[in-house]
Amino acid sequence: MNNAEALHPATTVPVELGARRYEIAIGAGLLAEAGKRIKPFLKRPVTAIVTDSTVAGLHLDALRKSLAAEGITSRAIVLPAGEATKSYRHLAETCDELLAAGIERRDIVIAFGGGVIGDLTGFAAAILRRGVDFIQIPTTLLAQVDSSVGGKTGINSPHGKNLIGAFHQPRTVLIDIALLDTLPKRELAAGYAEVAKYGLLGDASFFAWLEGNAQSLFAGDAQSRIKAITKSCEMKAHIVTEDETETGVRALLNLGHTFGHALEAATGYSSRLLHGEGVAIGMAQAFRFSEKLGLCARGLAERAEAHLRSVGLPTRLADIPGDLPGPEKLLEIMRQDKKAVAGKLTFILVRGIGEAFIARDIKESDVLAFLAEEQA
Ligand code: NAD
Ligand code: MG
């Protein structure tokens, strides 16, 4: 980048994917420099921003101002906030609006929002004119540490979540931690579940660091936010580099997700349970299930759970308001998970903190017994 000297310092995490290599820039106040940082990627000074109504109300002016300062004209496409936007209808609307905005094959589209906007925009970019490039400016903690990195894009089908999609890597990711200042605490905690996940799945010392620093991270301390996000992005980037299309090790990122997805489905993807909250319960369950199967030492589930609870995350089925279906029904939902292979259930289980592994062929009777215990 030839104008780098004019920019604030940012931490850079490379995602080494050969021809699709890109960098994630992490810092405070990067939104104000978005124009400078994006300009080198553009073939002409034109772009389109896809965002949601909440983010647009809070931060769109700042982004457009920063682009305009570099002479970049932008069309904004503002979609409704919420998971329901990851739909065929809004995909079609987004594609048509991008075409109406005059986006050409060599232009770049900006995804400016949480995981919903990132997933939808990335997928729209993947299919628009058989593929245009896109840039992620994630605005939730979940999107900053998870969904904006790794190139999974897509929408939901009436048959299930994320069933229609493509792998499409962004050209770059700009993470401005200042955007988190407007994020509701519940959303911050939900995103934090994915941060804790990286420690729990693969790095015990990172988890220990989180135990000591989560409170300052939640209080808004910039250094601890940058460190936690940087470490999370590094771990995700590393795993994605090893296994871009999830044929192996990338599945470790699903720690807490088999249980979590079943709970999200059982609660109708409603505000009863945010994705990260489902993951927090799911991770606690993965630890408890691992203990029960004798795979990891007793007491570790309690430690994982205590940390998640300390930041206000749920860890038990009883934490979910309202009724849940019974063990049989939850198991049936898990069988329909797209990660099921030939009907066999795959779980990510643990041998310890930071020692997750892929457990194939878990016996349904063991799962049922465990779920019955959880609901007792
Ligand atoms: P989201 O995009 O719905 O954002 C959550 C809420 O926060 C929304 O209401 C949004 O308007 C609001 N918001 C966003 N930024 C804000 C800000 N800075 N200040 C105030 N409010 C703000 O949800 P999410 O949790 O970011 O992402 C969830 C989605 O991500 C799911 O659809 C999930 O499937 C997907 N996901 C994808 C991947 C992947 O690898 N592609 C990984 C994990 C999750
Ligand atoms: Mg997740």
How many Cβ atoms sit within 10 Å of the Cβ of residue 296? 21
pLDDT digits (tens, 9 = 90+) for 216-225: 999 999 999 9
Task: Identify the DSSP state of 29.
Answer: S
Q: Considering only 2-6, 29-33, 161-165, 276-280, which range has the smallest mean pLDDT?
A: 2-6
* Residue 343: per-residue pLDDT: 63
pTM reported for the whole predicted model: 0.95
Single out the catalytic residue among 90, 250, 288, 307.
Answer: 250
Q: Which ligand is nearest to the CA of 256?
A: 2
Contacts of 369 (CB under 8 A, 6+ apart): none
Q: Is 58 in the pocket of ligand 1 (CB under 6 A)?
A: yes
The ipTM (two decimal places) reads: 0.99
Is the shortest distance between the CB of 176 and ligand 1 below 6 Å?
Answer: no
Select the more confidently predicted residue: 100 or 2.
100
What is the per-residue pLDDT across 153-169, written as a single tens digit (0 to 9) for each?
Answer: 999 999 888 999 999 99
Q: Ligand 1 mean position to 113 CA, how many Å?
A: 7
- For residue 43, pLDDT beyond 50: yes
C-alpha separations of 83 from 86, 116, 317, 318 in Å: 6, 6, 22, 24
Q: Clarify whether 130 is annotated catalytic.
A: yes
Nearest CA to ligand 1 atom 20: 183
Q: How many CB atoms lie within 10 A of CB 185?
A: 10
Q: Whose CA is nearest to atom 22 of ligand 1?
A: 183
152 is catalytic: yes
List all residues 6 or more positions away from 376 whose beta carbon is below 8 Å from its beta carbon.
none
Does the active-site annotation cover 261? yes
Token pair listed for 54: 């909440």
Q: Residue 34 above 60 pLDDT?
A: yes
Q: 282-298: per-residue pLDDT in tens?
A: 999 999 999 999 999 99
Neighbouring CB atoms inside 10 A of 180's CB total 21
Residue 244 among the catalytic residues: no
CB 278 within 8 A of CB 260: yes
User: How much is the pLDDT for 159?
Assistant: 85
Please give the structure tokens belonging to residue 31: 């939104």
Provide the Cα torsion 329, 320, 117, 356; round to 10°. -70
Comparing 53-67, 82-96, 191-205, 336-350, the range with the smallest average pLDDT is 336-350
E strands, the chain, where? Answer: 11-15, 22-27, 46-52, 73-79, 108-113, 133-138, 152-157, 160-167, 172-176, 347-352, 355-359
Label residue 257 exposed, middle or buried (CB < 10 Å: 0-12, 13-18, 19+).
buried
Grade residue 365 by pLDDT with cuts at 50, 70 and 90: very high
159 is catalytic: no
Given a contact cutoff of 8 angstroms between Cβ atoms, the answer to whether 153 and 165 are in contact is: yes
The alpha carbon of 118 and the centre of ligand 1 are apart by a number of angstroms equal to 8
